[in-house]
Amino acid sequence: MVSRMTFWANKLSERLWVRPLLMCLVSIVAAFMAQWLGSSGLSSYLPDISRDSLETLLSIMSSSMLVIATFCVGSMVAAYASAGTSATPRSFALVIADDVSQNALATFIAAFIFSVVAIVAVKNDFYAQGGHFVLFCMTLLVLAAVIITFVRWVDRIARLGRISSTIDKIETATAKALTHRKQAPLMGGIALAPLPGPDIDVHILKPGYVQRIELTKLQKLAEQQELVIRLLVLPGSFVFPGQPVVKLSGQQPLDEQDINTVQNAFILGKNRTFIEDPRFGLVVLSQVACKALSSAVNDAGTAIDVLSSFARLFSQWSEPMAVEEQEACRFDRVQVPELDMMELFDDAFNAIGRDGASSIEVVLKLQKTLTALANCPVPGMREAARAHASKALARAEQSLSLEADKQQARLASYTDSQKLRR
């Protein structure tokens, strides 16, 4: 239930209208609360506030907040366009989900709504004398919130959409997804094993990317029908109509409703997401590096920054995890395949090794990164790092024109560096 709520909460965070709508509702409630508080027994002890001064203050706020909100939207749109142009369009979801920018837009719009509602109420004598003072205090609090939010937002919008900021956001999202998968390598299920009896394939009905698999539904069905379910795809896979996504093994015949339950457990979308798909973050970082290495941009430094991000991400993956941090098996009738380390390295390093083969700076950074990762004590990481180091060196020897650069690349490669140590 928690993971499901987290998934949909992250999906909602990509919608710009959610927080402004919630803040508008809060602002309307606050405007009417002033009347209730002002009419309580404490109203006789509250100072008198001039109605004209209150109307003037609210009028200034309403006119200025609309301008600031419009400016905020324009700046955010420019930052989103910059992120899609300088980095990759796949990073748009992370940039648009920036908390500071969304909170700023929500605060400015909420302040505008609050001031408009309050002006209408004041002009129609909705508040008593005590209500004027309460409304005045609320107005000052709203102004303070607007000023603080504006200062924070100006600092953030200056960085939002920049290539370094976008890389940081992608790395953070990828690290979060990798940590979540590290805590539950099998997503709460069990490892692959021979199925206990005859099996049938369940096919998907429409194309799309698997964004989430509701293992709770599959476990419940498996318990009811005494089944063992094996997943054939993971979140991030693109599936076609008629493609098998699970195998069901059991003794009892299944009806159409059971098959529909299995199919509905797969949430499909037009795009991959960072939430439950660790490989997507690696792919997006690799795309950022490849775009920087294109002849139109020719920015080797960005590719080197991305390789540094890969080094941190895979080093984090290799760190041992405490037993109490690991999630227990919750779906003992659902077999789930683990992430393949070679596929993770393919997502991260294949494209950079190809597009950066003619840049000695990128080649050296790539070889040093793979050499360091080859020493990590994670099953499969050593073999994957050695294989990619060898492949990247072969590409570099074909692309580099200067023999001195080729020799430098050989010395930095995993195989030759091991020979030198011996």
Res 39: pLDDT:
60
- 206 vs 13, which has greater pLDDT? 206
pLDDT-derived band of residue 421, with 50, 70 and 90 as boundaries?
A: very low
Query: At residue 45, does pLDDT exceed 70?
Result: no
Res 420: pLDDT:
36
| pLDDT, tens only, 133-160 | 778 888 888 889 888 888 888 877 777 7
Average pLDDT of span 391-396: 93
pLDDT-derived band of residue 328, with 50, 70 and 90 as boundaries?
A: confident
Query: At residue 190, does pLDDT exceed 90?
Result: yes
Can you list the alpha helix ranges (DSSP code H) found in 158-208?
A: 163-183
Query: At residue 377, does pLDDT exceed 90?
Result: no
| Residues 6 or more apart in contact with residue 271 via CB below 8 angstroms | 90, 93, 209
Can you list the alpha helix ranges (DSSP code H) found in 87-202?
A: 92-96, 99-123, 129-157, 163-183
Res 342: pLDDT:
94
Query: At residue 16, does pLDDT exceed 70?
Result: no
- Do the beta carbons of residue 35 and residue 126 sit within 8 Å? yes
Res 290: pLDDT:
92
**29 SS3 class:** helix
Q: Taking Cα atoms as reference points, which of 119, 266, 291, 271 lies closest to residue 202?
A: 266
- For the record, the structure tokens of 220 come out as 């419940």
| pLDDT, tens only, 220-239 | 999 998 899 999 999 999 99
pTM equals 0.81
| pLDDT, tens only, 86-128 | 777 777 777 777 778 778 888 888 888 888 888 888 887 777 6
Query: At residue 245, does pLDDT exceed 80?
Result: yes
Res 7: pLDDT:
57
Res 415: pLDDT:
54
Mean pLDDT of the chain: 84
- Do the beta carbons of residue 260 and residue 237 sit within 8 Å? no
Query: At residue 2, does pLDDT exceed 70?
Result: no
Average pLDDT of span 327-346: 92
Res 37: pLDDT:
62
